[in-house]
Structure 1
């Protein structure tokens, strides 16, 4: 019994590793929107059997990254910017509701943990895009959690998970990282002063600017990846 459990655990761990590698390849545009492939090709690519690859592929299909057809195998889903826009709109609704609740609450919300991260002098700010991206997610989730409404937090986390593939690109440019620090500081200042209307305006502008930036970067990165592919094929 223990041997079978051990084997199952190793199989699950391997499937998890392949899942993450596939997801990274999609996120980094090593696999482009519309690219087609088979389970066998992916197994050869990662040097494993088809079983963990199949498990990883179906997991990514459930999460919306891939699609499968009976006769033509697997493909990376095309970017659906309309869907991303809708998710960003939902995110704005949730976060503006959080701003109103924070400013209207009888007891001031404890925003000290967020202030400690974002109210830093310029020379102490992080510059690594991946780290800042993770902190940015935590900042916006922190605003929701400050309301005490766990159902809002759950839905907001689901939205965050779905837009992560494009949202993380906002932190691949140094000026955007600095701007994120500045804008988060200002939102926190306004919330502390309970200036709900101005905080809402600033937060909406912050999210809309980020959405526009990731649209632009995504299209540029896809174009560059396709050009590299064409050059490689020509070579």
Structure 2
């Protein structure tokens, strides 16, 4: 199958998803507007509209495209998208990479269609992923299919810190209560060595800390085997780890400190010293909170200049 045909088929499926999720209003906007929405050529849009006309989903009435019937999964063209679980994982990685690479910044606006097209996933995947963060005030659905990454204030950071502390300290106590033969103790040893290796090369490899940070906190939370813990961590990770990272002025120093704090926590864990481990974790969480406060303050100063 040619690349242009694959693009056309992908866009047809995305168009159908957008209809079923009421992202597109009727009568349809102009071909030029649709081409911009889906980031394709007007020729591709015409081909899609012709297909939907042929199968009876749309009708052209007085030069306006109206919806005649709701499309079904059978109206889609096969070979387009990967399995849903693969799409979910692909988009999650893509979204986090946008934030981590500073291509999506606090205050930026974006659309479901645009992200779905660039990640090559269904708009439904994008919408359901974004809805996970909506209730926490991480993003704002300001218009149908349109979103904005929220700029946080100091009060938001403080409340999130309280939630994170309760969650991770509780999880750490559960971690310490695991039997000696549990695989998590081996993972902790391996993670400690990974941190020490990064610490030795921190001047050159400090940007590699993000993945290690995720492993560290996921390991602590994994002790409960609780899906709500994992979902909460996703939210916290986006806000604490990625949100303030757009300001890189002190990234090397910040990551260097974090690596040292992780090592202190892991060392105490492996010593089976719960009191020391919790104290080290509290120090690390407080450092993260301070970093976020400072970032918010710098952002406000820049905004008010």
Band the TM-score falls in, shorter-chain normalisation: 0.5 to 0.7
8 A Cα contact 2:168 2:220, kept in partner: yes
How is 1:66-105 mapped onto 2 (pairs within 5 angstroms)?
66-69=140-143, 74=146, 76-81=148-153, 82-105=155-178
8 Å Cα contact 1:115/1:188 also seen in 2: yes
Aligned to 1:211: 289
Q: Which deviates more, 73-82 or 130-139?
A: 73-82
Alpha-carbon distance change, 137 to 88 in structure 1, aligned in 2, over 3 angstroms = farther
Residues in 2 aligned to 1:22 and 1:125: alpha-carbon distance in whole angstroms:
23
1:150 aligned residue (194, 201, 225): 225
Structure 1 residues 21 and 140, CA gap change in structure 2 (3 angstroms)? closer
Work out the CA distance in 1 between the residues paired with 2:172 and 2:110: 45
| Residues 37-56 of structure 1 mapped to structure 2, 5 A cutoff | none
Equivalent position to 1:132, from 209, 213, 225: 209
More helix by share: 1
TM-score relative to the length of structure 1 = 0.66
Aligned equivalent of 2:131: 62
User: In structure 2, do the counterparts of structure 1 residues 160 and 105 end up closer, same or farther at CA, with 3 Å as the change threshold?
Assistant: closer
Superposed displacement of residue 207, structure 1: 0.7
Q: Quickly say closer, same or farther: Cα 1:223–1:158, change in 2 above 3 A.
A: farther
Distance in 1 of aligned mates of 2:99 and 2:273: 43
Whether contact under 8 Å (1:36, 1:74) holds in the other structure is yes
- Taking a change above 3 Å as real, the CA distance of residues 83 and 5 of structure 1, as seen in their structure-2 partners, is farther
Tell me, yes or no, if structure 1 residue 181 matches structure 2 residue 181. Answer: no
SS at match of 1:76: strand
The alignment's C-alpha RMSD in Å is 4.3
Residues 218/59 of structure 1: CA separation in 2 closer, same or farther (3 Å cut) = farther
Structure 1 match to 2:190: 113
Contact 1:36 1:75 in 2 (8 A): yes
**Structure 2 residues without counterparts, runs of 5 or longer:** 1-73
Deviations 1:76-113 (A, max 9, x none): 25334445544433332232123323334442633212
Residue-pair matches, total: 210
CA–CA distance in 1 between the matches of 2:122 and 2:100?
15
Separation of aligned partners in 1, 2:179 and 2:97: 44
> Which structure ranks higher in relative contact order (CA pairs < 8 Å, sequence separation ≥ 6)?
1
In 1, the alpha carbon distance for the partners of 2:301 and 2:97 equals 19
Work out which of the residue numbers 28, 33, 40 in structure 1 matches 2:102: 28
Q: Structure 1 residue 190: deviation in Å?
A: 1.3
Distance 1:56 1:217, change over 3 A: farther
Aligned equivalents of 1:195, 1:168: Cα separation in 2: 27
Corresponding residue of 1:192 = 270
TM-score computed with the length of structure 2 as normaliser? 0.53
